[in-house]
Amino acid sequence: MRKGMYKMLAAALMLTISGGVVGSAADTVLDTVYVNADRDKAEDTVGTLPGGFIKEEPSVGLLGHQDVMDAPFAVSEVSQKTIKAFASPVNGVNEALALNPSVTIQSGSLYQDIAIRGFRTNGHRQYVNGIPGLLCQENIPYYWVDSVSVVSGPNIGVRGTGLSEAIGGVVDYTSKKAVTNATDLKLAYRGGSSFEEGVDYQTRLGSDKKWGVRVTTNNIHGDTAIDNEKLEQQNIFVNIDHKAERSKTNFLFGYNHTKHYGGPYGVSFDFKTVTDLPSAPKGSNGLKPDWSYNAYENYIMAFNHEQKLSEHVTGFVNAGYHKENWYGFIDGSPNVLNNNGDYQIKMSNLPLFLVKTYLGMGIKGDFNIGKVKNEYMIGVDKSWETYDIDNGNPNYKWSGHGNIYQTNSWANPGDAHWIPLHSDTTQMEGWHVVDTLKALDDKLQVTLGVHGHRATVNQVGATSLKKSDAITPTYAISYKFTPDFMMYADHTESFGMGARVSTDPSFNYVNKGKMLDPAKTKQNEVGFKVKTGKFLNTLAYFDIKQANAIDVKLANGRLLRALDGEQENNGFEWAFTGNINDRWDLIGGAMYIDVKQTKTKNGANDGKPVDGIPHWTANVGAIYHPNSQWSIIGRGNYIGTAKINGDTVKVPSSFVFDLGATYDTTFGKTPVTLQAMLYNVAGKDYWIPSGSSSSLTVGGPRTFVFSANFRF
């Protein structure tokens, strides 16, 4: 399997190098857009690097948008073209993000978790239009999303103060904005008997087109390609923007309602009786009851405003609101009992409710000291959260038995409802000061930043408030030797007020829902970026240290989640994107990571690896354009071997290949784009390891999807 990965990476490396022969560095992304292509295709690649996959000026939080060759971090922002080509019904936009070598997919369609440089993250830790805390942790809709940026590594110094720490990196969703007057109608088959209808309306208003309105709404319904799974989801998002000579404003409102039956998540193992890891089952097998479900609704609002106060000073205000009502939860995960794949599954009734609010403001500008230009930002912000969760409905207890090598069914014991009790209220106040100094015709750039914050957690039942505060620095240096070659080094930090222990019933934590102690995360990174013709290559080395969370097995068989020493993740990653010629677009990369525990109690676990993190991962995505109407899409995803259960059980590597095509045509005078994709072409059965856990996720089945997009 690893030989296949080496061949894939070697071929990609040769193609990225050869890009310098067939292309010119002066070419722009517009050269890859065909003259007779539909106008919406041009919209999808505005402001991108050659190939159209990655934005040329990605979002770097409070620092705004920076040219990718200036940013002293490993940063990328996937475009609308990338999302349309590679997002999937199971993993959503995460399939597009995973083309960044820092990112690996961690779970299935129920909770769309990812890991960045080995650290797990979900929607609660991510951002929308630069504002933290606006997404849910479950199945995240993405029809409203224009692009998504990933800044690898902890970096609270250039981000708003979120209540949930983004350890391995920061993910920021940017909403679609009106760029023209048009309406798109989407009709899609999503595999199984699942379908989607969507409308994307946009218009610019006023004689000077200063106002823009974009409304996206879609409806997903039906049984998926996985037995016992059914997804019903309705979404509507409205984005209003205003652009004036001295100001710009954006307001986003979103509503999402989801009812998800039998959604797959993790599979755990009782390694007292499981002596060898069972081979992976078919991805289509239903391992949970078809009556198990998660039902939730989310309301989000995001407001951004910038006002030019003078020629060199701009004020800004960012505000956000998120209400999540996870009113329905009857769910659990299989626990495998033996080598034959027999398992027990327990259901619990565990709803929750939360409200998050964010407000940030400040100024940014520039001034010169001699020949040195200073670009600065000074800001303050505050986040609030109320959280309602408890141990769940004590009157609802159900368990059943099944086998992972078949679809299983059980009689429905009846629905149950529970209103969770209030558990805690949290406030976090922060301040940021960042200055970027530019000299030698902007070839030399030095970024110096400092962030401070104070957190207060009031947990029900606690004898006192839980308070913490910290100051975290950010500093970076970069030098651009030529317009096409730069090197950088950075030190970034983040601080968490304490991670919340998972409430997933499969873990059965005795302290579920409780907060662990506060902890810092620190990263050192060095790297370089080089453009060769129409290709951008980035190579980086990173070293991240974070408090080590472990599972302590108690005498009664249950688990206690606790901190013990540090977890150190260090490794290399290589990312590339571009086009070989006018017909071939390429994106991908590879990461090698070594994860070990250090400074553990009495040195008991020093040097031991962390469960569920493979050393090697790699991704390659390609689009071939045989002519102006057809595009052939291919993608390969490699996950290396991993160890679980304290380095005693090996999880095999896997390679999955996806293949598809798009066809641009017209029905009468209406432009239409038809797209077909076959995921997991070979029908590979495989396990997906989950970082810092001995639980695994069953890889998705071979799935055919088809969509038609009509532009009016």
What is the pLDDT at residue 399? 96
Instruction: Classify 400 as helix, strand or coil.
Output: strand
- CA–CA separation, 94 and 148 (whole Å): 10
Q: What are phi and psi of 470, to 5 degrees?
A: -165, 160
Q: What is the mean pLDDT of residues 536-543?
A: 96
* In-domain check, residue 464: no
How many domains does the chain contain in total? 1
Instruction: Classify 219 as helix, strand or coil.
Output: strand
Task: Confirm if 331 and 505 have CB atoms less than 8 A apart.
Answer: yes
With residue 242 as reference, give the H or E element that holds it. Answer: strand 230-243
Q: What is the mean pLDDT of residues 155-183?
A: 86
What is the pLDDT at residue 268? 93
What are the DSSP E strand ranges found in 580-639?
584-598, 616-624, 630-639
* In-domain check, residue 17: yes
217: amino acid identity, one letter: T
* In-domain check, residue 467: no
The backbone region for 99, taken as left when phi is positive above 0, alpha when psi lies in -120 to 50, beta otherwise, is: alpha
Query: The domain that contains 204 carries what CATH number?
Result: 2.40.170.20
Domain interval for residue 393: 2-459+472-495+503-711
* In-domain check, residue 466: no
- Only one residue has tokens 């974070």, namely 546
* In-domain check, residue 292: yes
- Per-residue pLDDT tens over the stretch 294-315: 999 999 999 999 999 999 999 9
With residue 42 as reference, give the H or E element that holds it. Answer: helix 39-44
* In-domain check, residue 589: yes
Does 29 have pLDDT greater than 50?
A: no
Q: What percent of the chain has pLDDT over 70?
A: 93
> Residue 26 — very low, low, confident or very high, per pLDDT cuts 50/70/90?
very low
* In-domain check, residue 465: no
* In-domain check, residue 597: yes
Dump the DSSP string for 106-133.
-S-SSS--EEETTEEE-GGG-EETTEES
> How, if at all, do strands 268-269 and 334-336 pair?
parallel
Does 9 have pLDDT greater than 60?
A: no
What is the pLDDT at residue 501? 78
What is the pLDDT at residue 10? 53
- Per-residue pLDDT tens over the stretch 89-140: 999 999 999 999 999 998 888 888 999 999 989 999 999 999 999 999 999 9
What is the pLDDT at residue 134? 96
- CA–CA separation, 704 and 191 (whole Å): 6
Does 231 have pLDDT greater than 80?
A: yes
Task: Confirm if 694 and 704 have CB atoms less than 8 A apart.
Answer: no
What is the pLDDT at residue 549? 78
Q: What is the mean pLDDT of residues 438-449?
A: 95
The mean pLDDT value of the chain amounts to 90
- CA–CA separation, 125 and 128 (whole Å): 10
- CA–CA separation, 476 and 72 (whole Å): 6
HSE toward the beta carbon, residue 165, CA cutoff 13 A: 26
With residue 96 as reference, give the H or E element that holds it. Answer: helix 94-97
Q: Which two tokens stand for residue 300?
A: 């989000």
CA distances from 705 to 264, 523, 623, 702 (A): 19, 40, 17, 10
- Only one residue has tokens 């990605």, namely 58
* Three-state SS annotation for 289-335: CCCCEEEEEEEEEEEEEEEECCCCEEEEEEEEEEEEEEEEEEECCEE
- Per-residue pLDDT tens over the stretch 37-56: 455 667 788 889 999 999 99
Look up the pTM and report it. 0.91
Q: Which two tokens stand for residue 155?
A: 């970096």
Task: Confirm if 123 and 142 have CB atoms less than 8 A apart.
Answer: no
- Per-residue pLDDT tens over the stretch 65-100: 899 999 998 999 999 999 999 999 999 999 999 999
Q: Which residues pair with 315 in a beta bridge?
A: 307, 363
